[in-house]
């Protein structure tokens, strides 16, 4: 999820965080009808709960708390424990502002994961979920995978360091690193959690040799990063990317260090030392990252990433595993709501050119080119014109571009969510229908909390949910989604249209989203 939409959230930072620093295990009441279940990890025994036919182990630490001298260092091993660890409550989530997409937190002790497993079964496929939120917000707690677990898979959800705490590159941090790199701490957290899964998931009934990464938005970008990362080799066997193709070019370490230097100045570390950075209060960091944008992207550091994601996919220098790649039909409507309707009112005809310029980050002189391709006369409102442009430019055609690249090297399956009546669970109503907006597909896979009142899935949508859950779990089991979903063929440009009640094969994606135009700009 692009960062530009988060400025309006800062006003609630201190109020939201005041009540968000709870310790693990301090809030959730035990569920009726549950009983204790144990599993053995290489750090010690964990005590979870069985609820019906699902076992759940919550708040398991997979690395040491990244605090004090461990701030802005690779994740370190967690100490062993002797008595069984209570794994019936979620752990803290990582520092962030309050938002519709995550709860506020000021707690850096946040490297926890959750394991959900069927009550019976051994050697089951594992699905490893990475949450979205622009790499600045979000947490593992929100994703109840009961629908997936019911299909005999083990699901792992994780927290990882966010924002500047997870992605800040800085010359002082690079200088102290044995590898002469900095940044990518959140990506290294994900790799540490994957390594934990490889070592321990057998105790929960999972097969460490069948691990499928999946994630949405920044979680999808994270999956792309792991696909491109030599450091993730051998840690997973399949990948599902939901709306994650919005960033295919990552900054160099030098560029990221320059941004980190600007961040340090903004937060009053004018001496540019690692000691000053580590002495900062968490609030200074979270506020500073939103004011400067510092530390919010993976970095081509020469170790975790040796080249940008797009370059790795083009060359085939990637972790070659089967992939599902997709996007939603109306992705950018969520961001038009965030950036315009909910903060200042709908886009006007007079303001349309400036809105295009802000969305694409282009010089004003180039705006008429895009107005000509997306004229207001083709859309019911300026909001929807801008939403179509943003969807096509940032999500849809990038996803298709990835599908064309990676299908030369790995089995690839493409999709588009096309439910125009998908419930909106994050934002209040605005002047236009949300359609199949960004993040809409998650509710078909997980039971989600709603930030705003939202209707449940209707009968047709429940059928679509069943089909998606079946496809995702079948992919985790076999490396292909089954049920007539075609393997992506660049010559046919065919993909699965996820439409209720039953998915269909579509071939008109590129024409609808004007991908020939956007592809021409890559040359």
For residue 162, what are the β-bridge partners?
none
Distance CA 272, CA 293 (A): 17
Given a contact cutoff of 8 angstroms between Cβ atoms, the answer to whether 35 and 50 are in contact is: yes
Q: Is 284 exposed, middle or buried (0-12, 13-18, 19+ CB in 10 A)?
A: middle
Catalytic residue status for 438 = yes
| Distance, CA of 437 to CA of 396 (rounded, Å) | 12
Nearest to 159 by CA among 241, 244, 63: 63
Q: Choosing from 331, 403, 416, 496, which is the catalytic residue?
A: 331
d(CA 166, CA 447): 27
Residue 352 gets the label, from left (phi > 0), alpha (psi -120 to 50) or beta, of alpha
Asked if 78 and 62 touch (Cβ cutoff 8 Å), the reply is: yes
Angle at 100 between CA 346 and CA 67, to 5 degrees: 135
Short-list 118, 112, 85, 114, CA closest to 205: 118
Are the C-beta atoms of 153 and 213 separated by less than 8 Å? no
Candidates 217, 297, 440, 497; catalytic one: 217
**Among 438, 440, 465, 506, which one carries the catalytic annotation?**
438
The C-alpha atoms of residue 422 and residue 134 are separated, in whole angstroms, by 22
Q: What's the 3-state SS for 3-72?
A: HHHHHHHHHHHHHHHHCCCCCCCCCCCCCCCEEEEEEEECCEEEEEEEECCEEEEEEEECCCCCCHHHCC
Q: If we measure between CA atoms, which residue out of 406, 48, 381, 407 comes closest to residue 204?
A: 48
**93 noted as active-site residue:** no
How do 323-328 and 412-417 pair as beta strands?
A: parallel
Q: How far apart are CA 437 and CA 328, in angstroms?
A: 6
Alpha-carbon separation of residue 345 from 29, 217, 336, 337, 382 (angstroms): 41, 25, 10, 9, 12
> Which of 241, 511, 180, 203 lies closest to 395 in space, CA to CA?
241
Check if 203 is active-site: no
Angle of CA points 57, 60, 63, to nearest 5°:
155
DSSP alpha helix (H) spans, 45-168: 146-149, 163-167
112-118 and 154-158 beta bridge pairing:
antiparallel
**Residues 256/297, Cβ–Cβ less than 8 Å:** yes
Q: What residues are labeled active site?
A: 217, 331, 438
């Amino acid at each position: 999820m692009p960062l530009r939409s988060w400025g309006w959230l800062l006003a609630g930072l201190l109020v939201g965080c005041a009540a968000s620093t709870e310790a693990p295990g301090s809030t959730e009441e035990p569920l009726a009808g549950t009983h204790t279940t144990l599993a053995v990890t290489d750090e010690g025994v964990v005590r979870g709960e069985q609820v019906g036919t699902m076992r759940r182990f919550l708040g398991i630490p997979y690395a040491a708390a990244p605090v004090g001298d461990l701030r802005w260092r690779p994740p370190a091993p967690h100490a062993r424990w002797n008595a069984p660890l209570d794994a019936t409550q979620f752990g803290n989530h990582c520092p962030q502002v309050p938002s519709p997409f995550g709860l506020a937190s000021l707690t850096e002790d946040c490297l926890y994961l959750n394991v959900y497993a069927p009550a019976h079964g051994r050697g089951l496929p594992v699905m490893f979920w990475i949450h979205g939120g622009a790499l600045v917000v979000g947490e593992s707690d929100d994703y109840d995978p009961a629908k997936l677990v019911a299909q005999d898979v083990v699901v792992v959800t994780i927290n990882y360091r966010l924002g500047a705490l997870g992605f800040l590159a800085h010359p002082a941090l690079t200088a102290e690193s044995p590898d002469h790199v900095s940044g990518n701490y959140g990506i290294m957290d994900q790799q540490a959690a994957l390594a934990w899964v490889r070592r321990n998931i057998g105790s929960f009934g999972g097969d460490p040799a069948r691990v499928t990464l999946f994630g949405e938005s920044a979680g999808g970008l994270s999956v792309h990063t792991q696909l491109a990362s030599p450091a993730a080799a051998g840690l997973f066997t399949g990948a599902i990317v939901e709306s994650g193709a919005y960033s295919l070019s990552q900054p160099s370490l030098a560029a990221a260090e320059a941004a980190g230097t600007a961040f340090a100045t903004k937060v009053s570390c004018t001496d540019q030392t690692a000691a000053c950075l580590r002495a900062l209060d968490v609030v200074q960091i979270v506020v500073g990252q939103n004011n400067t944008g510092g530390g919010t992207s993976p970095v081509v550091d020469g170790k975790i990433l040796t080249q940008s994601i797009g370059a790795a996919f083009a060359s085939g220098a990637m972790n070659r595993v089967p992939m599902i790649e997709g996007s939603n039909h109306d992705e950018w409507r969520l961001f038009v709501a965030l950036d315009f309707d909910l903060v200042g009112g709908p886009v006007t005809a007079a303001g349309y050119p400036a809105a295009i310029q802000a969305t694409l980050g282009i010089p004003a002189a180039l705006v008429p080119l895009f107005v000509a391709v997306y004229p207001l006369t083709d859309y019911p409102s300026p909001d929807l014109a801008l939403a179509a442009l943003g969807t096509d430019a940032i999500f849809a055609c990038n996803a298709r571009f990835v599908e064309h690249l990676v299908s030369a090297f790995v089995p690839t399956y493409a999709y588009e969510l096309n439910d125009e009546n998908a419930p909106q669970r994050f934002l209040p109503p605005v002047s236009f229908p949300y359609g199949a907006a960004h993040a809409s597909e998650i509710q078909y896979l997980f039971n989600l909390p709603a930030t705003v009142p939202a209707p449940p899935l209707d009968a047709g949508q429940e059928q679509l949910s069943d089909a998606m859950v079946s496809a995702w779990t079948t992919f985790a089991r076999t490396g292909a989604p089954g049920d007539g979903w075609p393997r992506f063929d660049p010559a046919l440009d065919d993909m699965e249209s996820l439409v209720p009640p039953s998915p269909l094969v579509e071939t008109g994606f590129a024409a609808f989203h004007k991908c020939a135009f956007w592809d021409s700009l890559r040359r």
